[in-house]
Structure 1
Amino acid sequence: MVRRSVLPGGVRVLTEQVPGLRSASVGAWVGVGSRDEETGHHGSTHFLEHLLFKGTATRSAQDIAEAFDAVGGEANAATGKEHTCYYARVLDADLPMAVDVICDMVTSARLDVDELELERGVILEELAMNDDDPSDVVHEQFATAVLGQHPLARPIGGTPATIKGVPRQAVLEHYRMHYRPDTLVVTAAGGVDHDVLVDQVQRALQTGGWALDPGARPSDRRARPGGVPAGLPTDGVQVSVRRPTEQANVIVGGTGLTATDDRRFVLSVLNAALGGGMSSRLFQEVRERRGLAYSTYSFASGHADTGLFGLYAGCTPAKVDEVTALLVLEWEKLAQEPMGGAELARAIGQLCGSLVLGMEDTGSRMTRLGKAELVSGELLSVDESLERIRAVTAAQVQDLAAELAARPRSVVLVGPFGD
């Protein structure tokens, strides 16, 4: 059973009760991501993800950690390009504690100067770790190449320069600007009672000092402007980043679909057939038949006004031209000829099975609620989602593959090459 309530202040609470489960996942979502950072605030969204765990007016960082460790629970956070989520998974009996702690973090973060400076070093180490991973580097560089000057091109975690340079006042301004009752969405799934959770959330927010105005309404969902977003390159870009690695990492691709495009289910089938599993075209051609790569796949991500679609492979540097040509060839073959019935059925079956199996995890159900509220404004049932996947035709996949292939195409390489 899925229920939704709007609390005073515009706070939204959504729950999905799953009978028989002794655990629950809860998340506090704020509809702000790295794309929303103003000049001078770059890096603040990711900074806040760290700082909210560093203490509140009534809890130290150790208190927060011990609260979850004492019950065998898990707590973490994730920053995205368009939203941030603080979440926990606990036994159903410990859900009141999890709600209280997470709401305390969201409403009453201290953002202490000393803790901020300590965490600045931690975040710089995190960025350095990511920069040491060529697969992370190639994906970041691909987003930059395809999205150009668009705000979505900025790295979610910030850059060493922005993290070193952002002052506490900017982080505090970003926090006060975006962490408000009308932007907050609380979702929970598993062994949860909706009415009880609503009361817990309201009490916790009031204890945290938030004024919950009975007349306030939730903030509007992110606008979805039509046409080509400003800042995107009009031509494909070729980028080579030097790293002294044994393997080359390559991505070929361009813009994809928005998160609410009606064809997103077609894109899911396309992605599954092209590079979504061991039977996919990329895996079979690049790895199984030719032995040119260990890892190869396709991927897609959608945002409010644009998206990304790309094909990845890691291979010996001497083989990078051959592998890149194969990635393009398999993409264009899918655009030129319709899929066979068996291949289509296999891709659809893979997606349907993955969807249903994922619903056995309370974290996936909690995330599904949050994204439905913040992104689309509708929550499809599992049966409705399966129906839309099964309705995809080979002709639709071919048409979409052709459309994506006709867009500006970028190639990004990371390896022992010249910049």
Structure 2
Amino acid sequence: MRDEWVLPNGLRVLGERLPHLRSVSIGAWMHVGSMMEMPEENGLSHFIEHMIFKGTTKRTVRQIAEEMDAVGGQLNAFTGKDCTCCYAKVIDEDIELAIDIIADMVMNATMDEKELDKERGVVLEEISMDEDSPEDLVHDLLAKAQFGAQSLGQPILGPAEQVAAYTRANLMDYKNKHYLPRETVVALAGNYEPAQVQALMEKYFGTWQGGESALVVPKQQVLTGRRVVKEKDTEQLHICLGYPGFAYGTDDVYAVAVMNNVLGGAMSSRLFQRIREELGMAYSIYTYPNSYQGIGTYGIYAGISPKNGDKVLEEIDSELKRFLKDGMTDKEFRDSKTQLRSGYLMGLESSGSRMQAMGRSTLLNGHPTDHQKTIAAIEAVTPEMVMDVAHKVLTAEPSLAVAGKGAEKYAE
């Protein structure tokens, strides 16, 4: 059972009632991420996501933590390429506290100068940690290879030198420009009373004011055949291949998901079985689609010994060519669809997963995910549809990102 309200300030509220639960997951989804940042703003979306935890006009940083901990709730946030989400999970009797705290953080964060300087150090440490994790780093390098100077090529965390220089005024100006009720969706899933939730949303979010949104989602183009490498003193070599994919909300994402399970999305997939199980040349190898507004990508990752780099790239190329030439077996196709359907249905058992699907879909597509239509779309995928998207994706010249020992040999 779903509920939907739009407050006078333009804030959209979506709810999915799950009366068999005692919990409720709530998230405020803002239409802002690194994809919306100008180069001189890179990292501000993520920095602000940190700072909304560092005190408001009503609560200190300690009070935010203590009030949620006192009821055994969970409070967190994340920044993506195309959105920022602040979310909580509490038992149903504490729903007002969760709505109050989330609204307070989103609307009333003070960006205190002392807290900002302390949190700047935390963000810089996070950037250093990412730099010291080659598996994370190589995905940032792949984004740079596939998008160059476009905003999707920027790291979510931002460059350390810019984060070190941002002022309170920079954060407040950016927040005031992008944290707007008309560009925010509040989604909740779990056990709640609709009349109570509507009243609470009006009480805590109804005073939020903001002008008309000037948001323009920048158009992006996937670049092919580019290489970005970074030499690191590591034991492993980390490789990513990147191809064009499909945009969030398009019908092709279901066929791509089936293809993904066959190629590298599961333990029984071709690349996992060939490169890890048969050749013993990788501990971790997987494939993954990424979908954003208006554009998508498809990636392959492998963490390997430097001596095996060329051989693994040859084996990946061989497996992809074999897939394009011979297609899938009937068993691979059936198993992949079953995996996809089962994974989706099991995800629906989590109030958090339901909240996230509903929030992101409404923010980016303008409407919540319809679970029955999603299952029907998965079941409607045919082998011909899978091979059609495979030829669109895998025949493009891939971009290559490499990080680790011996990476420089793969530079152009």
Normalised TM-score (structure 2):
0.95
CA contact (8 A) 1:253 1:310 kept: yes
* Structure 1 stretches of 4+ moved >4 Å: 219-225
Q: Work out the CA distance in 2 between the residues paired with 1:322 and 1:134.
A: 20
2:313 is the alignment partner of 1:324: yes
Cα shift at 1:305: 2.3
CA contact (8 A) 2:33 2:80 kept: yes
Partner of 2:170: 170
Partner of 2:38: 38
Partner of 1:210: 208
CA contact (8 A) 1:186 1:370 kept: yes
Call closer, same or farther: CA 1:333–1:253 in 2, change over 3 Å.
farther
Deviation digits for residues 196-222 of structure 1, max 9, x if unmatched? 11211211124xx5248xxx99x6996
Deviation digits for residues 219-275 of structure 1, max 9, x if unmatched? 6996586xxx35x53x41123211111111111122211112221111111111111
Give matches, 1:17-416, under 5 Å.
Answer: 17-206=17-206, 209-211=207-209, 229=220, 232-233=222-223, 235-416=224-405
Deviation digits for residues 338-370 of structure 1, max 9, x if unmatched? 211111000000001100111111110000111
Q: Which runs of 5+ in 2 are unaligned?
A: none
Cα shift at 1:165: 2.1
Q: Work out the CA distance in 1 between the residues paired with 2:387 and 2:217.
A: 30
Q: Work out the CA distance in 2 between the residues paired with 1:241 and 1:109.
A: 38
More displaced 10-residue stretch of structure 1: 409-418 or 78-87: 409-418
- Partner amino acid for 1:108? N
- Partner amino acid for 1:357? M
Identity, % of aligned positions: 37
SS, match of residue 188 in structure 2: strand
Call closer, same or farther: CA 1:362–1:222 in 2, change over 3 Å.
farther
Deviation digits for residues 44-91 of structure 1, max 9, x if unmatched? 101110000000011000000001111111100010111100000111
Q: Work out the CA distance in 2 between the residues paired with 1:265 and 1:418.
A: 34
Cα shift at 1:403: 1.3
SS, match of residue 295 in structure 1: strand
CA contact (8 A) 1:116 1:168 kept: yes
Q: Work out the CA distance in 2 between the residues paired with 1:318 and 1:238.
A: 19
More displaced 10-residue stretch of structure 1: 80-89 or 369-378: 369-378
CA contact (8 A) 2:144 2:228 kept: no
SS, match of residue 9 in structure 1: coil
Q: Work out the CA distance in 2 between the residues paired with 1:400 and 1:266.
A: 7
SS, match of residue 294 in structure 1: strand
Q: Work out the CA distance in 2 between the residues paired with 1:222 and 1:273.
A: 36
SS, match of residue 111 in structure 1: coil
Call closer, same or farther: CA 1:88–1:138 in 2, change over 3 Å.
same
CA contact (8 A) 1:336 1:398 kept: no
CA contact (8 A) 1:252 1:410 kept: yes
Q: Which runs of 5+ in 1 are unaligned?
A: none
CA contact (8 A) 2:178 2:215 kept: no
SS, match of residue 28 in structure 1: strand
Q: Work out the CA distance in 2 between the residues paired with 1:223 and 1:240.
A: 29
- Partner amino acid for 2:285? T
CA contact (8 A) 2:275 2:312 kept: yes
Call closer, same or farther: CA 1:325–1:39 in 2, change over 3 Å.
closer
CA contact (8 A) 1:222 1:304 kept: no
Normalised TM-score (structure 1):
0.93
Q: Work out the CA distance in 2 between the residues paired with 1:222 and 1:377.
A: 15
Call closer, same or farther: CA 1:418–1:381 in 2, change over 3 Å.
closer
- Partner amino acid for 1:194? P
SS, match of residue 97 in structure 2: helix
SS, match of residue 346 in structure 2: helix
